[in-house]
Structure 1
Amino acid sequence: MSIVVASEVATALASRGAVVALESTIICHGMPYPKNLQMAMEVEAIIRDNGAIPATIAVLDGVPHVGLNNEQLKRLAISGRQFQKTARRDIVHVIASGGNGATTVSATMFFAHKVGIPVFVTGGIGGVHRHGEQTMDVSSDLTELGKTPVAVVSAGVKSILDIPRTLEYLVVYFLFAVFHR
């Protein structure tokens, strides 16, 4: 799989500079245009103001991109829901079909790790959906946290989810992982 890494991201990684990965689902699926573009640019500016290089991640025309320029950010913001919400399980399909993907936490972690970015910042992670004990609707973000070595800085679990069951899932998942290594 070929991944396009923006030159400033590649330069920072090569010199062991600070790089922060960012998801793109919030841009395409979280807010309407133009607020989504304004938010994306403000977040990138905050990261730059604190001495790091932002690396927003998305799949554009079947090619994963780590680090987007302003035109690419604008394309995401304007296209919105035309970009497929892309979790790790969706990556192969989006790439193989030449599609456009807005990366979720799990896909962003996957690509960040592939190129050597150790830190990822997001607003909220996915979790166990309400009535998840019946539907088994559990975000792939949770399993990705346990298998991909990227530090995730987050405000926590999204409030629309079943927070107690999400915490229960995380505790059981991590205890299982610790005792079965």
Structure 2
Amino acid sequence: MNKYLDICEEVKDAINRKKAVVALESTIISHGMPYPQNVEMAKHCEAIVREYGAVPATIAIMDGKIKIGLSDEDLKILATAENVTKVSRRDLAQVLSEKKLGATTVATTMICAELAGIKFFVTGGIGGIHRGYEQTLDVSADLEELAQTDVNVICAGAKSILDLPRTLEYLETKGVCVIGYKTDYLPQFFTAESEYRLNTRMDCVEDICSLIHTKENLGLKGGVLITNPIPKENSMDKSYIDTLIEKAVKEANEKGIKGKEVTPFLLAKIVEESHGASLKANIALVYNNAKLGAKLAVAYCNE
């Protein structure tokens, strides 16, 4: 595996000493936000993880290697290059073998984090069942990865551009434990509230870590999904954002946009229609998740 892993010394030392490490994805940098906000967001996320006592490990595919822990130069390349491949599980071997530049999705970041021995991963929102599933059978690889890969994911729920009831049902079928952190309901990415009730609520990181340790002791596969609502002061009006989403989904359908191109298109369209308000919300929820992820990683290592 050393043939493919390029782990920076800071992260390698933390892993070897069993210190808290938090993985961070790179698709949010290359495909999720415009430049220079994407670089500023990535650097600030890493700073928040450090502030709360953990080591950040941003992951990408570069020069035929899975790079775990990126330099400032690496971040800028990902943020500005036009040929960055969005890498999911199906693409990982190809992008590595062809030595292409690749940004890791939730699914691929989980795979790479597990290869390196990293237990916690912070993202914005996971993928899920896409709207119009009856016609397209479009299911994000993130859900299957949560069912089989032992990395615990902190997010602001599933992206609200998705079919959320079906997404929750799929996770339940796959046996994925979904925890609401200080909430009884699934957060909807841009908004803190929703009508979709969760089975499990936990209000302190120690309880979540105890559950994770118990799951591991039982030998149960897959990750735990910790959903963390966007701070109320940053939450968008639900009816307003839902209207923008409906409009963006309609346009994507009319243009025939499919597969892994759907989410970047919808998010960019919503940023445009909201005059940047959704981008501010997206950045705020990622920072909030980085804080919780670092706290969880530290508490887990201290148990």
The TM-score with structure 1 as length reference comes to 0.93
Q: Which runs of 5+ in 1 are unaligned?
A: 176-180
1:46, distance to aligned residue in structure 2 (A) = 0.3
User: For residue 45 of structure 1, what is the aligned residue in structure 2?
Assistant: 47
1:28 correspondence with 2:30: yes
2-structure distance, mates of 1:77, 1:57:
13
User: For residue 141 of structure 1, what is the aligned residue in structure 2?
Assistant: 142
* Residue type of the alignment partner of 1:3: L
RMSD over equivalenced CA pairs, Å: 1.3
* Residue type of the alignment partner of 1:98: K
* 1:1-181 correspondence to structure 2 within 5 Å: 1=1, 2-79=4-81, 81-174=82-175
1:37, distance to aligned residue in structure 2 (A) = 0.3
1-structure distance, mates of 2:21, 2:174:
29
The 3-state SS of whatever aligns with 2:121 is strand
The 3-state SS of whatever aligns with 1:30 is coil
2-structure distance, mates of 1:167, 1:19:
28
* Residue type of the alignment partner of 2:69: G
Instruction: Indicate the structure (1 or 2) with the bigger Cα radius of gyration.
Output: 2
* Residue type of the alignment partner of 2:77: R
Identical residues among aligned pairs (%): 54
1-structure distance, mates of 2:54, 2:134:
41
* Residue type of the alignment partner of 2:105: T
* 61-70 or 140-149, larger mean C-alpha shift: 61-70
The 3-state SS of whatever aligns with 1:174 is coil
* 22-31 or 159-168, larger mean C-alpha shift: 159-168
The TM-score with structure 2 as length reference comes to 0.56
1-structure distance, mates of 2:87, 2:147:
19
User: For residue 178 of structure 1, what is the aligned residue in structure 2?
Assistant: none
The 3-state SS of whatever aligns with 1:92 is helix
Consecutive aligned runs of 4 or more in structure 1 exceeding 2 Å deviation = none
Q: Which runs of 5+ in 2 are unaligned?
A: 177-220, 222-303
2-structure distance, mates of 1:151, 1:63:
23
1:88, distance to aligned residue in structure 2 (A) = 1.3
1-structure distance, mates of 2:48, 2:110:
20
1:102, distance to aligned residue in structure 2 (A) = 0.3
Between Structure 1 and Structure 2, how many residues are aligned? 175
